[in-house]
Structure 1
Amino acid sequence: MEMKTQAQVCATVLQKREFGGIHLGSFFCYSETFSLQEMLLKHQECLKRQREAVKFRMKKLSTKQTEITKKSSAMRESIRKKYEDIQRVLDEDLGMTLTHLEMEERAAVTALEDLMEKNCTIIQEIEQDLARLTAELAQKDFLLPYSLDTEIVGRVIDLLSRTDPSKVNLDEPKADQILSLTNNMLLLIRSQTPITKRLIKSYSTEVSLDPETAHPKLIISPRGDSATYTDTWQELPELPGRFDTTLNVISLQGFSSGRHYWEIDVAGKTYWELGLTYPTISRKGRAEDCWLGRGSDSWAVEFFDGEYTAWHSGVPHQLPVTKHFSRIGVLCSFPGGLVSFLGADSMTPLFSFCAGAFRDCLHLALCSGHDHNGTNTKPIVICNAPPSAFQNAQEC
Structure 2
Amino acid sequence: MNSKENVLRPQQHQQHQQHQQHLQRQRDVINYRMKKLAAKQVEITKKSSAVKEKILKKYEDMNRVLDEDLRITLTQLDAEHKAVERLVEEKIEDCYHLSQDLSQRLDNLSAHIAKEAQGIDTEDAETEERICGTLKLTDPDLIQLDEFKNEQLLSFTVNLLLFIRSQVPITKRLFKSYAADVVLDADTAHPKLIISPKGDAATYTDAWQDVPETSSRFDNTLNVISQQGFSEGRLYWEVEVGGKTYWELGLTYPSIPRQGREEDCWLGRGKESWCVEYFNGNYTAWHGGVQHELPLLAGKRFTRIGVCCSFPGGLVCFLGADTMTLLHCFCAGTFTDPLHLALCPGHHNDDTNWNSLKICAASRSATVL
SS of equivalent residue, structure 2 residue 351 = coil
Q: Secondary structure at the match of 2:44?
A: helix
Counterparts of 1:51-90 in structure 2, within 5 Å, are: 51-90=27-66
List per-residue Cα deviations over 1:312-345 (Å, max 9, x = no partner).
1112122121211111110111111111111111
Does residue 185 in structure 1 map to residue 185 in structure 2? no
Measure, in 1, the Cα distance between the counterparts of 2:68 and 2:81: 20
* One-letter amino acid matched to 1:364: L
TM-score normalised according to structure 1 size: 0.84
Deviation at 1:5, TM superposition (A): 6.2
Q: Secondary structure at the match of 1:273?
A: strand
Distance, in Å, in 2 between the alignment partners of 1:81 and 1:190 is 20
CA distance in 2, matches of 1:253, 1:370: 25
CA–CA distance in structure 1, aligned partners of residues 235 and 221 of structure 2: 25
Q: Extract unaligned runs of 5+ from structure 2.
A: none
TM-score by length of 2: 0.90
Residue-pair matches, total: 359
Call closer, same or farther: CA 1:387–1:120 in 2, change over 3 Å: closer
Which residue number in structure 1 is paired with residue 346 of structure 2? Answer: 369
Q: Distance in 2 between matches of 1:145 and 1:83?
A: 80
**Identical-residue share of aligned pairs (%):** 57
Q: Which has the higher contact order (CA 8 A, sep 6+)?
A: 2
Distance in 2 (alpha carbons) for counterparts of 1:324 and 1:7: 81
8 A Cα contact 2:248 2:346, kept in partner: yes
CA distance in structure 2 between the aligned counterparts of 1:113 and 1:329, rounded to whole angstroms: 60
Which structure is higher in helix share? 2
| Whole-angstrom distance in 2 between the partners of 1:296 and 1:7 | 54
1:59-208 matches, cutoff 5 A: 59-131=35-107, 136=111, 144-145=114-115, 148=120, 150=124, 151-208=126-183
- Map 1:346-385; keep pairs closer than 5 Å: 346-385=323-362
Moved more, 44-53 or 329-338: 44-53
1-side partners of 2:76 and 2:334: how far apart?
58
1:238 is aligned to 2:213:
yes
What letter corresponds to residue 198 of structure 1 in structure 2? R
Aligned alpha-carbon RMSD (Å): 2.4
The amino acid of 2:82's aligned partner reads: R
2:256 paired with 1:256: no
Residues 16-38 of structure 1 show CA distances to partners (whole Å, capped at 9, x for unaligned) of: xxxxxxxxxxxxxxxxx713x33
Deviation at 1:250? 0.4
SS in structure 1 at match of 2:11:
strand
Counterpart residue number, 2:17: 41
> Partner amino acid for 1:266?
V
CA-to-partner distance for each residue in 1:230-287, whole Å, 9 max, x for gaps? Answer: 1111232221111111010000001111111111111111111110011111110234
Give the structure with the larger strand fraction.
Answer: 1
Q: Contact 2:196/2:202 (CA < 8 Å) preserved in 1?
A: yes
Partner amino acid, structure 1, of 2:35: K
The alignment status of 1:331 with 2:308, answered yes or no, reads yes
Q: Is the 8 A contact 2:176 2:364 kept in 1?
A: no
1:312 aligns with 2:284: no
Quick one: which amino acid aligns to residue 257 of structure 2?
A: S
- 8 Å Cα contact 2:307-2:318 kept in structure 1: yes
Q: Distance in 1 between matches of 2:185 and 2:67?
A: 53
Question: In the aligned structure 1, how far is the partner of 2:359 from the partner of 2:29?
Answer: 47
Name the amino acid aligned to 2:59.
Y
Secondary structure at the residue paired with 1:8? helix
1:268 equivalent in structure 2:
243
Question: What amino acid sits opposite 2:348 in the alignment?
Answer: D
**Is 1:227 aligned to residue 202 of structure 2?**
yes
* CA distance in 2 between partners of 1:346 and 1:388 (Å): 17
Residues 71-95 of structure 1, C-alpha deviations (whole Å, 9 max, x = no match): 2222222222222333333333322
